[in-house]
Structure 1
Amino acid sequence: MLILYALARPLLTGTNTSEPLLASVADGSAAACDDIHGCRTVPAIIWSCVSVVFICTWVAIHPNVPRHGEHTSVVLLHNAGIMFMALIAPELIVLWAMRQWFSAQNIVKQFKKYPLSKTHAFFILMGGFALYEGDKFSHVLWEKGWGRADRELVEEIEKHRRQVDKSEQENTTSDITDKYECLLEYLLYHGYISVTQVEIQDRSHADVLSKTIAIVQTIWFILQSIARGAQGLGITELEIITLAFAFLNFITYFLWWNKPLRVRYPVRFTWYLGENLSPRVGENRAIPMPRLFAVKAEMAGIGQHIASGVRRPRKGTSRADRATLTSWIFSVKTEIVVAGKYIVSSFHAAWEEVADNYSEFAAVPLYPILPLLVSFGNILLGEDTSLFSSQLVSDPPKLYAAAYLIAVGFGALHCIAWSFEFPTEVEQLQWRIMSALVTVLPLSTGATHSIFHYERKVDDFFDRVAWRGLSKVIKVIFDFFVGITVLLLPILYITARIWLIVLALMALRDLPPSAYQAVQWLNFIPHIG
């Protein structure tokens, strides 16, 4: 609603005035827009930016093949969700594309003795090959090693091949799996996968020409922005946001240049199997959502449950045992340590009980944006779902280094408007704060990501601490801090991104006079006179 209201404000302002929209350009420092061909209007500015943003969030994004049996409306809903996520956090789309680019490179190198192009590799990653048992869907052909269904499939194929070619030496299933790394290589070796690169590209909804047109449109917008800055003309905040999108658009297009666009159905490989073969468990699984109503409500009994399950502090020693000062100090120290362990154990047990039984209640306010946060986490942590699968075994360090560097650069582009004219000083201050946040938060996310990477080493360090009670306290505080950070960073980033868009739209209601002037391209062409 905020975005719609902000978008309507400049249009209403322009239609309610009795004077022409560009008549306010009477400042001596800027030429008056007395010729409509030498000026531009607010709707023209909005249309120019929206067209580029649409290219960056819809045309440039190459989703995976939808799950088997998904309705067209569900596919469109998923694509709209990806588009919205690209609008809020486009750098995550770049991270997704980078993962698939690295994974495609690995597949091409791994199977270099077979005629596999990078287009084939992307097609494999996006779920472009599917196995069918007759007319029944079995599973998607991922490049993930041997599964139970894969072994049974190969065994059936080998039985058939041995019946056809009696002279071939019989091999057991174990020999076959030793010879080939996965089902994909087995099918490639025996020529079952013969689809060519041209045939795969024919399934794509985009060709080189359409991609080139989209890139040319993006380059044209960037050149216009640079030319406006060179001529000292005003640039709107909305154009700055669009410029940041255009910057990431080139990276996304480079990474996904060989990936087919919006393939609806995979290439089918049909094999008539026996009744024992069933689809692999886990294929095309959906992200489990928290259960809202399956919550226990024994809040009153938590105390007794904890008290019965932890160690009580032992009683103090007798007066005779504390006859000397040394024994008395040792006794006091022992009592403190034991009491500390009891308190820490009680607190830790209570924390686990509350976390297990009431975390769902705590997540209730996040339900409207929970699918978005789950998608953010899947892309950031590299969780392989059918929607964002990359099949990358491990993320190379240079992937995250490049991703966070790109994210910081994306945020820094918003700081170009740091000293721009805004309708009010409050809006200028808000822009500065939000642009600083979208620049700094990726660094904080990178630090948190590194903590997750070294979490086991941190746990080992805490376990080696001499005072085990103190180590538990520190670990609980550490886990709580990391959990809150992981939860707050995406929410804070999403809020900052949306607020920047709202501020950019609201700023259109009161633009500086030079912002209405069009670029005089003749000034950039060498000429006489």
Structure 2
Amino acid sequence: MLILLLTYYLAQSAHSEAGPIPASIDVRDVASCDGQYSQRSLANIVWSCLSTIFLCTWVAVHPNVHFRAEKQTERWTEKWLWDPLLEIATYKLPLFLWALLVPEYILAWAARQYIQAGVIREKGKLPGWKRTHGHFMIMGGFHLFRLPDNAPSVPLPLGSLEPSEFVIPSSRHSRIHEIPVCPLTFKDVPVDVLEIIAPTETELKDRGKSDVLTKIIVLVQTLWFVIQCIARGSQRLPLTELEVVTLAYATLNFFIYAFWWDKPRNVECPVRVYKTSMVSNKESEGQLEEWGGNWASRGVQKILIYSIGGQDSYVKISEKHSIPMFWSGGTGANLTNAGLGSSILGSAFGAIHCIAWSSEFPSRPELVLWRISCVSMIIVPFLVAIICALIMAYQQMENEELPWWMVAIFVPCVILLFLSAWLYIASRIATLVIAFTNLRSLPLAAFTSVDWTTFIPHI
């Protein structure tokens, strides 16, 4: 609601007919008005927006542990050139594109991990066990290794009388010869073992590549951009389309940081958990779902499942070398709640773009394309919100039979979501392209800086 009110206020303020500078005034006249109006350059506008977008799409993302097995023999070109480039191209760049084109999906992912981290914290019931430990478990912080053949080991003690499959090495050997198996989930490791091997909260924060001060600096920089946009609206100064796009990213960034505040960032090396070479890891997540039907039905099913964040039920972790990119730790009603809230915020993200609904565009087609993109960015996330709400309502019902009215709403929403999924991506790309191309023809008032002295109380 606050986001929508902010959107309405800025839209009304930015496009009011009254303004401090007439549209026909020359820039030299503005610069010579005894300092009444200070100017900003196009480079200032672009740099402010690009730096804020970078903070919201690259720095704000807290990825899962992307584990890569160490090679026994590796040339320096592979270690310092090829492997880093491959990591960026196959993992970090796709994450950046997801955050750039579908930021509300990153928000939903963060919300699901936040909820599941709280569930793990409650189930663990270990001394000093915080939400940070839950995040670390979900993000693939514990990885199963097998010791080399004939390497002596000692079983880890359990509270029960059952023998433990988890061991610790009891002899000298090179860690590079240990065999990586798969990531471990919370159900794969007994609580007694976690109590022994889990790092403390301070140790987990030390593994992260950013501390509280770094996060606060990013949030302050993002907040400063939002304040500038509000100040321009209060003084009837227009926002460029690029600033409107950046404002939408900055608004979602606060929610993403809130959900990932306790999650360690850019952890590259998981904690090694050992089993003997004779024991295999069993899947502990219960019966896995399978993609069924022909290619068309599978396509609709995948779009629906990934949209609501239920893809974890189709992943067999014991067969993965690293935790999946968008792994959230499981499924459930709470995760559907995360999808509902994130989808509503996603619609608000699209609504913020409507601030530029009545802006001056260089051409009529650009204006029409911008408005169509705004509408699609509002409707598509709202369809996901309706689907999540229906799923939540059905989960609250005791009987298993789906009511007819729910089917009448659910089926059209799924069909529309399937048909409009590509339209949403095209709309995101269109708004980004138009935001940059419109910089070639900006109104003179767009170059006027905010007069901050009007906000300072004085006589």
Shorter-chain TM-score above 0.5:
yes
| Residue matched to 1:521 | 452
Match status 1:383 vs 2:311: yes
Distance 1:461 1:249 in 2: 37
**1:440-459: CA deviation from partner (whole Å, max 9, x where unpaired):** 22122333456677899999
**1:408-441: CA deviation from partner (whole Å, max 9, x where unpaired):** 2111111111122222233223222211221122
Distance 1:268 1:158 in 2: 11
| Residue matched to 2:228 | 224
Shift, 1:230, TM fit: 1.3
Give the direction of change, closer, same or farther, for the CA distance of 1:123–1:478 in structure 2 (3 Å limit): closer
| Residue matched to 1:146 | none
SS at match of 1:132: strand
| Residue matched to 2:106 | 93
Match status 1:155 vs 2:168: no
Shift, 1:520, TM fit: 1.8
Match status 1:183 vs 2:122: no
- Return the letter of the residue paired with 2:425: I
| Residue matched to 1:32 | 30
2:267 to 263, 267, 278: 263
Shift, 1:199, TM fit: 1.1
Distance 1:128 1:181 in 2: 14
Shift, 1:278, TM fit: 2.5
More displaced 10-residue stretch of structure 1: 394-403 or 213-222: 394-403
| Residue matched to 2:87 | 75
Shift, 1:523, TM fit: 2.1
Structure 1 portions without partners, runs of 5+: 1-23, 137-149, 161-179, 291-351, 364-369, 465-474
Spell out the pairing of 1:284-303 with structure 2 (5 A cutoff): none
Which of the pair is proportionally richer in helix? 1
Distance 1:32 1:133 in 2: 72
Give the direction of change, closer, same or farther, for the CA distance of 1:523–1:480 in structure 2 (3 Å limit): closer
Q: Contact between 2:244 and 2:355, CA under 8 Å: does it hold in 1?
A: yes
**1:247-301: CA deviation from partner (whole Å, max 9, x where unpaired):** 0000001100010001111011334x142x1244699xxxx9x9xxxxxxxxxxx
**1:463-512: CA deviation from partner (whole Å, max 9, x where unpaired):** x9xxxxxxxxxx9x999967753432221111111111122112111111
- Return the letter of the residue paired with 1:123: F
**1:334-386: CA deviation from partner (whole Å, max 9, x where unpaired):** xxxxxxxxxxxxxxxxxx9xx74x759x98xxxxxx9xx97995363331262
| Residue matched to 2:44 | 44
- Return the letter of the residue paired with 1:394: G
SS at match of 2:143: strand
| Residue matched to 1:214 | 218
Spell out the pairing of 1:283-322 with structure 2 (5 A cutoff): none
- Return the letter of the residue paired with 1:261: R
Backbone CA RMSD of aligned residues: 4.0
Distance 2:232 2:148 in 1: 59
Spell out the pairing of 1:386-425 with structure 2 (5 A cutoff): 386-396=324-334, 398-425=337-364
Q: Contact between 1:379 and 1:388, CA under 8 Å: does it hold in 2?
A: no
- Return the letter of the residue paired with 1:128: G
| Residue matched to 1:496 | 427
- Return the letter of the residue paired with 1:197: E
2:437 to 500, 506, 513: 506
| Residue matched to 1:427 | 366
| Residue matched to 2:8 | none
Q: How many residues align?
A: 377
Distance 1:480 1:236 in 2: 39
Structure 2 portions without partners, runs of 5+: 1-21, 71-82, 150-157, 169-185, 316-323
Distance 1:407 1:198 in 2: 34
Larger Rg: 1
Q: Contact between 2:113 and 2:138, CA under 8 Å: does it hold in 1?
A: yes
Give the direction of change, closer, same or farther, for the CA distance of 1:135–1:59 in structure 2 (3 Å limit): farther
Q: Contact between 2:380 and 2:417, CA under 8 Å: does it hold in 1?
A: no
Distance 1:392 1:278 in 2: 22
SS at match of 2:31: coil
Distance 1:253 1:410 in 2: 16
| Residue matched to 1:367 | none
Match status 1:197 vs 2:208: no
**1:39-79: CA deviation from partner (whole Å, max 9, x where unpaired):** 12222211111100100001001010014439544432212
Give the percent of matched residue pairs that are identical in Structure 1 and Structure 2.
Answer: 33
Shift, 1:401, TM fit: 3.2
Shift, 1:121, TM fit: 1.1
Distance 2:402 2:454 in 1: 65
Q: Contact between 2:340 and 2:384, CA under 8 Å: does it hold in 1?
A: no
Q: Contact between 1:97 and 1:255, CA under 8 Å: does it hold in 2?
A: yes
Q: Contact between 2:373 and 2:428, CA under 8 Å: does it hold in 1?
A: yes
Q: Contact between 1:62 and 1:256, CA under 8 Å: does it hold in 2?
A: yes
Shift, 1:212, TM fit: 1.1
More displaced 10-residue stretch of structure 1: 255-264 or 444-453: 444-453
Distance 1:420 1:131 in 2: 56
